[in-house]
Amino acid sequence: MSGIVMFAVALLMLVLGFPVAFTFAGVALAFGVWAEGFELFAFMPYRLQSIMENTILMAIPLFIFMGVVLQKTKLAEKLLEAMAQLFGRVNGGVAISTILVGSLLAASTGVVGASVVAMGLISLPCMLKYNYDKQLSCGTICASGTLGQIIPPSIILIILGDVLGLPVGDLFRAAVAPGVLLIALYIGYILFVSIKDPSKAPALPLSDENKFIQIKKALSAIIPPLALMFVVLGSIFTGIATPTESSALGGIGAILLAVVYGQFKPKMLWDSAKETVTVTAMVFAILIGATAFSMAFSYSGGDMILEEWLLKLPGEKWGFLIMTMLVVLVLGFFIDFVEISFIIIPVLAPIAETLGISMLWFAILIAMNLQTSFLTPPFGFSLFYLKGVAPPEIQTTDIYKGVMPFIAIQVSVLGLLLFKPEWFGL
């Protein structure tokens, strides 16, 4: 029973705003010593050594570095300008461009916060300038930014691959179909709104620039990041490189793109490296705290109590999956995907295996669910990211109302993944 109390105390401290890594480590130390004494943590150095020797986790800082460099090359700004020129003449064109650019940023960076902030700073003023509906604008930006959770190379997929013992390349392949479906449904919804009420998503004024020149500019902005995406993902899917090796390739490719765009400077490289270290240190500090927490949780018997309860749910496999999806969705309101992946998923994974659930299917369900939690009011992280960079005329209620249709789309795709996995090759 102490394990359940331990989890409740950790969750309460997180809700109160205590730092994540120190909360998990501190609670683990207090309850671990109480349950087993200091001898329990004699095994901790071996756990840390296994983390340090894990080559899969090396891909995390390299993909973060790739994303940060691309962010500093003003990639999003160039892409949005190019897409807006191509699609701006139709109703909803800027919103459609935002979704497409968001998906390219997701495939290039895999970092949700960076994508939402970038699109909020670039796309939102443009949509407001041309009298787009505030709610549609906010919903579009938040939804496009969260695509980084499911579209490879996603940091969450790398973490889930490590936690569940799955090849990251298989996870990347399995995530492509749900990601493409989400993009298509987002665009479909925007087209529906713009046809139903053109005043909510008006077309841009016609440009005097030659159409051929517009297409040439658009292609020059789109082809380099697309080439980088194909090199990184293609090398993984074809088996030429491991995810760790392809992440290093992505970092080099991002630097070359910075040179192409004329943004490469020693200071930019130094700032990108510092930001990468900051984000990576946060992720691994949480991982170390989560490792201590899971060890203390197991020794206190919390995992056995939870497993016994979940195995007794009505509906067996389906009861477990539905309950798991609800729990992960609710926890996603309060804590980040990193904590959920390192704390919750290791407890749930053995139960899923006992029930005969495919781990690949289970991982994609978790990733899609965590993406939904990024959008869900009142605590969705993407909502806070956008509010932090939005102009004063954007109210929090505009953001909350704007994301509701996109949440419905995500839940629909999650439902399809849950009940029709064969449609996605799972």
Looking up tokens 């020693």 gives: 266
3-state secondary structure of 300: coil
Per-residue pLDDT, 100: 85
Mean pLDDT computed over every residue of the chain: 81
Question: Which pLDDT tens digit goes with each residue over 365-418?
Answer: 998 988 887 788 766 778 877 887 788 888 888 888 899 999 999 999 999 998
Q: What type of residue is 257?
A: L
Q: Name, in order, each residue with C-beta under 8 angstroms of 96's C-beta and a sequence gap of 6 or more.
A: 83, 87, 90, 187, 190, 191
The count of C-alpha atoms lying within 13 angstroms of the C-alpha of 367, restricted to the half-sphere facing its C-beta, is 34
Alpha carbon distance 183, 178 (integer Å) = 9
Per-residue pLDDT, 153: 77
Most confidently modeled range among 142-146, 189-193, 328-332: 189-193
Alpha carbon distance 399, 138 (integer Å) = 5
Assign 186 a pLDDT band (cuts: 50, 70, 90). Answer: very high
Range scoring the smallest mean pLDDT among 56-60, 298-302, 407-411: 298-302
* Listed residue (224, 247, 102) closest to 172, CA to CA: 247
What's 340's DSSP letter? I
Per-residue pLDDT, 58: 82
Number of H helices and E strands in the chain, helices first, is 20, 0
Q: Name, in order, each residue with C-beta under 8 angstroms of 224's C-beta and a sequence gap of 6 or more.
A: 257, 260, 261
Sign of CA dihedral 240, 244, 246, 252: negative
Which has the higher per-residue pLDDT, 187 or 24?
187
Per-residue pLDDT, 302: 65
Q: For residue 110, is pLDDT > 60?
A: no
- Check: CB of residue 280 under 8 Å from CB of residue 66: no
Q: For residue 218, is pLDDT > 70?
A: yes
Q: For residue 360, is pLDDT > 90?
A: yes
* Listed residue (96, 76, 77, 88) closest to 209, CA to CA: 88
Alpha carbon distance 272, 222 (integer Å) = 22
What's this model's pTM, rounded to 2 decimal places?
0.81
Which has the higher per-residue pLDDT, 300 or 191?
191
Please report, for residues 91, 272, 338, the alpha-carbon distance to residue 138 in angstroms, rounded to integers and kept in the order given.
17, 28, 25
Range scoring the smallest mean pLDDT among 63-72, 164-173, 181-190, 400-409: 63-72
- Check: CB of residue 76 under 8 Å from CB of residue 118: yes
Looking up tokens 């992960």 gives: 328
User: How many percent of the chain have pLDDT more than 90?
Assistant: 10
**Mean pLDDT, rounded, for 233-251:** 84
Distance of CA 225 to the CA centre of its chain: 19
- Check: CB of residue 185 under 8 Å from CB of residue 368: no
The pair of three-digit structure tokens given for residue 331, joined into one six-digit string: 């926890």
Assign 146 a pLDDT band (cuts: 50, 70, 90). Answer: confident
Assign 101 a pLDDT band (cuts: 50, 70, 90). Answer: confident
Per-residue pLDDT, 97: 85
Alpha carbon distance 398, 420 (integer Å) = 34
Which has the higher per-residue pLDDT, 78 or 96?
96
Assign 60 a pLDDT band (cuts: 50, 70, 90). Answer: confident
Assign 230 a pLDDT band (cuts: 50, 70, 90). Answer: confident
- Check: CB of residue 24 under 8 Å from CB of residue 292: yes
